[in-house]
Amino acid sequence: MFAGVATIAGTIGSMPMAAADVVSPPGSCAGTGTWEQARFTERSVAHAPSDVIKIPRADTVRWTGRIRGFPLGATGARRDIAGAVQLELPIGQVDIDTWDKSSVRFANTGERKYDLPSIFIGVKMKVKGYHKDNGRTTCSGSVYMQIEGSATKNPFTWVAIGGLVISGGLLLYAGRPVFKKLWAFEDVDPG
């Protein structure tokens, strides 16, 4: 339910910044994410929306999300909630999580496993999300993420290098004369 709020904090990686908050308005929601294999934790209040945070290509994130400082497990009057967490890819957008239901919870926890294709290694992408209570936006936020790893592991790197080599070869070939000089009849038979 609050996977989105927490995934904004949880799908972000390792660049702490003091006195920041990816959530708007600041303090309206908070989230944390702990990467199980990489063994690090991030908090929404430790980053600004302009941060670029590096995360592993694949892992499992344990997340928590809460509204207005409610403790985990907090409940209250039933209300309609909705929201989403989305990843902006270079070729579109994908939903990481969405919710649209009735709930009594104001804070929640969960776990999300992910395995991103190696094609995204080194690519800067925006993670954004929002949460609504009774149709009114409670909070929203965003931060940039980047899949850590060597550029040589991204298949597009090799495609680009191959294209550069082919283009360079074609450029060199373009500077060479293609046809032999054709002699006029008069130059061959002066008679």
Distances (CA, A) of 119 to 51, 54, 123, 152: 22, 15, 8, 10
Q: What residue has token string 């991103």? A: 116
For residue 20, the model assigns a pLDDT of 77
For residue 36, the model assigns a pLDDT of 93
For residue 89, the model assigns a pLDDT of 84
Ranges under pLDDT 70 in the chain: 1-19, 150-191
pLDDT in tens, 20-50: 799 999 999 998 889 999 898 989 999 999 9
Number of neighbouring beta carbons within 10 Å of residue 15:
16
CA 144 to chain centre: 6
For residue 19, the model assigns a pLDDT of 54
What is the rounded distance in angstroms from the CA atom of residue 121 to the CA atom of residue 8? 19
DSSP structural state of residue 121: B
Residue 136: both structure tokens together? 């009114």
What is the rounded distance in angstroms from the CA atom of residue 114 to the CA atom of residue 15? 21
What is the rounded distance in angstroms from the CA atom of residue 14 to the CA atom of residue 54? 6
Contacts 24+ apart (CB under 8 A), 43-46: 43/9, 44/5, 44/8, 44/9, 44/141, 45/20, 45/21, 46/16, 46/17, 46/18, 46/20
Nearby residues of 97 by Cβ (< 8 Å), 6 or more positions away: 3, 4, 7, 84, 85, 112
- DSSP, residue by residue, 82-105: EEEEEEEETTEEEEEEEEEEEEEE
